[in-house]
Amino acid sequence: MKLYNSLSRTLEDFAPLEPGHVRMYNCGPTVYNDQHIGNYRTFAFADTLRRWLEYKGLRVTQVINITDVGHLTQEHLDSGEDKVMVKARELGWTAEQVAGHFMERYFQDRRILFFQEPAHWTRATRYVPEMIALVKRLLEKGAAYAVGGNVYFDVARFPGYGKLSGNSLETLKAGARIEINPEKRNPADFALWKTDAKHLMQWDAPWGRGFPGWHIECSAMSMKHLGETFDLHTGGEDNIFPHHECEIAQSEAATGKPFVKVWLHARHLLWDGEKISKSKGNVVLVQQLLDKGYSPAEIRYVLVSTRYRQQVNFSWDLFDGARPALRKLAGFKARLAEAAAKTDGGKAPDLEAVRAEFEARMDDDLDVAGALGVMHGFAGQGNAALEGGLAGKGARETLALLDRFDGVFALLGGGEERPPDEVLRLGGERVAARKAKDWKAADAAREGIQALGWAVEDTKDGIKYRRL
C-alpha cells in the first residue's frame, strides 16, 4: 500500500512498525464551535484510512484528540486568545460547558455520519499531568526554557525544525517581525506552557500556574497511548505549520527518536470555489444538509468520494449527485439479496478481478474515487448477470464482495460497526458473569456498556452490540 508522506514529500510503501498493528493519531476538533463540512471531510479521510487498513487485516489503534484548551485565535502568534474561552465569554458559559456542548454535537454528527469510534478519545484538559511531564523533560534536556512562568521551546536547539513544512528559521524570522515577544530567544520559539491570570482554565506546574500550549497537547497525548514512535499522524493541511512542525520538534527533542513515520494531510475543502469561513457566510453544517433533505448516507457519499490529497470544491450540486449514485449501488444490493435466496443459477461476474481492481485503487494512496468507480462498474456487470439469471450461491458471493467493499465506505449499511475496546471488554465480563450465573455482575457490565452509549443483546450466537 502506498501513502503520500508529507515529511518525505513522496509516495511511500507503507508497512506498520509492528507487523499487523497500526498506531494512528488523528488531530481532531477544537471544540469552540460546530464542525463544518470541511472539517468532516478531513475526519472522513481518517475514518476511511482506518477502515481500509482494517479491510487489509491490520489491527488499528486509533486515537483522536479533542482540543478544549490552548488553541489560540492566532495560532501563529503568542498574542491570541484561547478559542474556547472567547466562546465562553460570548455565551456567558463556563469553558467546561462550551467544550462539553460542542464535543457532544461533534459526537452526534459522527454517529450520524457513521464514523468509527477510536480506541481512545484524548480530551486535552484530561491529560495535563502528561503535558507537564513532557515539558519538564524538555526543560531538563535544555530544549526549552522558562521565563516568568511561561515555558518556550528553543527551536535553535532542534536542528530538524522545519523539516515537515519546509520553513527555515531565517524565513520565519523575516515573517515574524510583527510580533515582538522580548521573552523569546528566537521569534520562532513557541509556548509549551503559558501563564495568564485571566485564563479560565489553569493548572499548577513547577514553573507557574497556567495552561498548556496546543502543540504540546498532541505530543503528550499521542505518545501516551501510541508510544514514542508510531505509524500515522493525520490532519488538515493547515496543521502542517505550525502545529505538526512543533509536535515533531518537541517530541523528538524529548525522546531522541523519530516521532511519526508517515504524516498525512488532507487538502482543504472549498465551497463554490471559496475558502470556508464565517466571514464569507459559507460555513455548511451537517445539520443544514439534513434539514435540506440529504440523507446521512448521501452526505457520507460526498465526504468519502474524493481523494484526501485533492483540493475539492463542494457545492449543493455535488450533494444532489449523490442520490442517484447511491441508489444505483443500493438497488444492486437489494437485487442481489433477493437473488441470493433463490436456487443456484446464472454466472457471477469475475469477482477476483473486481476485488483486485478495487484493492489496487485503494492501495494507491487511497484513490477512493477510483475504488467507488470500480464499485459502480461492479454494479453494472452484476446487474447484467442478474438479468442473465444469476441466483443462489453466485449471488451470495457477489453480495459478500459488495458488503466487503462497503465495509470501507459504509454507505449501504453493510459493514457492522465495531464497538470501542472498553465496550468489548465489558461485554466479555458480561458473558463470563452470565456463565457463572452472577446476575449482579452481568447487570453491572450491561449498565457500564450503556453508560458508554451502547446496548447489548444476548443471542444464542453470542453477544450483539448496538449503538444507542
List of residues contacting ligand AMP (CB under 6 A) = 27, 29-30, 38-39, 41-42, 67, 235-236, 238-239, 266, 268-269, 276
269 vs 385, which CB is nearer to ligand AMP?
Answer: 269
26 vs 116, which CB is nearer to ligand AMP?
Answer: 26
Min CB(39)–ligand AMP separation in Å: 4
Min CB(263)–ligand AMP separation in Å: 12
Cα(138)–Cα(355) distance, integer angstroms: 49
Min CB(438)–ligand AMP separation in Å: 44
303 vs 402, which CB is nearer to ligand AMP?
Answer: 303
Cα 164 → chain centroid: 20
**Which residues neighbour 292 within 8 Å (Cβ) at sequence distance 6 or greater?**
316, 319
DSSP helix/strand/coil, 127: helix
238 vs 397, which CB is nearer to ligand AMP?
Answer: 238
Alpha helices in 274-414 (DSSP H): 286-291, 296-304, 316-340, 351-363, 368-387, 393-409
218 binds, among ligand AMP, Zn ion, none (CB under 5 to 8 A by kind): Zn ion
Min CB(217)–Zn ion separation in Å: 7
Cell readout for 345 is 443459477
16 binds, among Zn ion, ligand AMP, none (CB under 5 to 8 A by kind): none
33 vs 186, which CB is nearer to ligand AMP?
Answer: 33
* Strand duo 2-5 + 120-123: pairing: unpaired
Min CB(357)–Zn ion separation in Å: 36
> Got the DSSP string for 180-229?
--TT-SSTT-EEEEE--TT-S--B--TT-SBEE-HHHHHHHHHHHHH-SS
195 vs 239, which CB is nearer to ligand AMP?
Answer: 239
Indicate the residue type of 450. Q
Min CB(77)–Zn ion separation in Å: 18
- Other Cβ atoms closer than 10 A to 81: 14
30 binds, among Zn ion, ligand AMP, none (CB under 5 to 8 A by kind): ligand AMP
397 binds, among ligand AMP, Zn ion, none (CB under 5 to 8 A by kind): none
32 vs 114, which CB is nearer to ligand AMP?
Answer: 32
Of all residues in the shown chain, the one whose CB is closest to ligand AMP is 236
Report how far apart the first and last C-alpha atoms of the chain are (Å, whole number): 35
131 vs 354, which CB is nearer to Zn ion?
Answer: 131
Among 218, 283, 339, 433, indicate the residue that binds Zn ion (CB under 5 A): 218
The dihedrals phi and psi of 235, each to the nearest 5 degrees, come to 180, 180
Min CB(195)–ligand AMP separation in Å: 23
The dihedrals phi and psi of 257, each to the nearest 5 degrees, come to -120, 160
Cell readout for 89 is 465569554
The dihedrals phi and psi of 276, each to the nearest 5 degrees, come to -75, 125
**Residue count, binding to Zn ion (CB under 5 A):** 2
134 binds, among Zn ion, ligand AMP, none (CB under 5 to 8 A by kind): none
Half-sphere exposure of 306 (CA within 13 A, CB side): 21
Min CB(385)–ligand AMP separation in Å: 39
Cα(18)–Cα(23) distance, integer angstroms: 9
Among 3, 27, 191, 283, indicate the residue that binds Zn ion (CB under 5 A): 27
306 binds, among ligand AMP, Zn ion, none (CB under 5 to 8 A by kind): none
Half-sphere exposure of 366 (CA within 13 A, CB side): 27
Interface residues with Zn ion (CB under 5 A) are: 27, 218
